[in-house]
Structure 1
Amino acid sequence: MPNKKNFFLTCAVLAVTLTAGCSSGADAETSEAGVDSVAESVGDAKGGSSKSPADSDTGRPRIRLDTTQFEEIRMYQGYLRCLKDHGVPISVKGNKMPEADPGTLWFPNIDVAEERPEVEKACLGKKPLHPPELDPQKNPDYMDDYSKWIACDNRRGLKVDPLPDGGGWNYKPGVTQPRNADQIDKECMIEAFGGE
């Protein structure tokens, strides 16, 4: 698995496979049903336009900073089921997450948005949204929070190098990482982005 932490595209996959957990928060109760994508009409003063929920955040499950890895995987089930229904190869969890139901769907081995954009568009209304705190477009303090996250990880023994764009981090080469790396990273992320 690559060393690079990129929580915008692969957070759930990395978090659940326990490489260095970057999972975020969510409500597990709403995770399995997903949201049907139904076009809605949105008008404006100049005549109106058509917009679907897949183009917005409407109705999509929202991950929180404090969501557990297990909750996050449950939240992704509606999206993964949709991908599978559209022909994307999806496997069950196998031994990747022993505490999960044996029928839990797992993430595809492809970048669906890049390789099957029509399927990504069809299923986007079911894909969980990452916490707004982790979105540089929505968090004006993102880079400051990101710097605090990296500093906390390093201070607590998870030795990482930040990426220049703030999109994640790499493990420092030649360093033995602590056994509780996932826990450290999660706690540091919540502390940095949650303002604690």
Structure 2
Amino acid sequence: MPNKKNLFLSCAVLAVTLITGCSSGGDAESSEDGVDSVAESGGDAKGGATKSPAADDSDSGRPQIRLDTTQIEEIRMYQGYLRCLKDHGVPISSKGSKMPEADPGTLWFPGVDVAKEYPEVEEACLGKRPLPPAELDPKKNPDYMDDYSKWIACDNRRGLKVNPLPDGGGWNYKPGVTQPRNADQIDKECMIEAFGGE
């Protein structure tokens, strides 16, 4: 699990901490510089891709991840994007042993930053890359910073000891703290509670 968690990743939602395409991996106790990211989002919280006046044409028709999308559902949503990358020459492998519950033919994320290493491919495949939940986009969620504060407070209350980033862009593990084994689950549940609250 990465040491630093950012909201604006170009690959996956917060729960998908195994992604290496736009983050470096590691576990909570050994990694010092890993990053999780989530791309800017569009669409509504129910999962339907909607086009707002500010939405880019590239968002139209893209799969929409919801706050409650499971990790395996999200991996499935990424298959079209990953197939496109592979078809355009980006080295993509199958999931191997990274996710035993996934189908054997599931494509996995590349070990490179596609936007930097293959910008023309990223542009060609962007329309297939899923959008993260709109609630995680400060441009679309006017209560973002309040929700973010609730998320951090929930993580810490439940034993996932983290320090917020000043810009609200994610968090870092508190140094010297052994994190719970179910850290991903805690973080996902806290995120849903904070950003999906009534």
Task: Report TM bin, short chain.
Answer: 0.7 to 0.9
Name the CA distance, whole Å, in 2 between partners of 1:26 and 1:82: 26
Match of 1:140 in 2: 142
Contact 2:8 2:37 in 1 (8 A): no
Runs of 5+ consecutive residues of structure 2 not aligned to the other structure: 20-26, 29-35, 39-44, 49-54
Residues 23-82 of structure 1: per-residue CA shift (max 9 Å, x gap): 9x887xx9xxxxxxxxxxxxxxxxxxxxxx984321111000000000000000000000
Aligned mate of 2:69, from 67, 90, 105: 67
Contact 2:7 2:14 in 1 (8 A): no
Q: Using structure 1 for the length normalisation, give the TM-score.
A: 0.78
> In the superposition, relative to structure 1, how do residues 16 and 170 fare at CA in structure 2: closer, same or farther (>3 Å)?
closer
Which has a greater percent of helix?
1
Name the CA distance, whole Å, in 2 between partners of 1:26 and 1:123: 24
Aligned mate of 2:84, from 82, 98, 102: 82
Number of equivalent positions = 171
Q: Using structure 2 for the length normalisation, give the TM-score.
A: 0.78
Contact 1:90 1:108 in 2 (8 A): yes
Match of 2:106 in 1: 104
Q: How does 1:8-157 map to 2 (within 5 A)?
A: 8-9=8-9, 10-12=11-13, 15-17=16-18, 55-157=57-159
> In the superposition, relative to structure 1, how do residues 89 and 67 fare at CA in structure 2: closer, same or farther (>3 Å)?
same
Runs of 5+ consecutive residues of structure 1 not aligned to the other structure: 31-52
What RMSD, in angstroms, separates the aligned Cα atoms of the two structures?
Answer: 2.7
Structure of greater Rg: 1
Residues 158-193 of structure 1: per-residue CA shift (max 9 Å, x gap): 000111121111111111111211111011000100
Letter in 1 for 2:18: T
> In the superposition, relative to structure 1, how do residues 131 and 79 fare at CA in structure 2: closer, same or farther (>3 Å)?
same
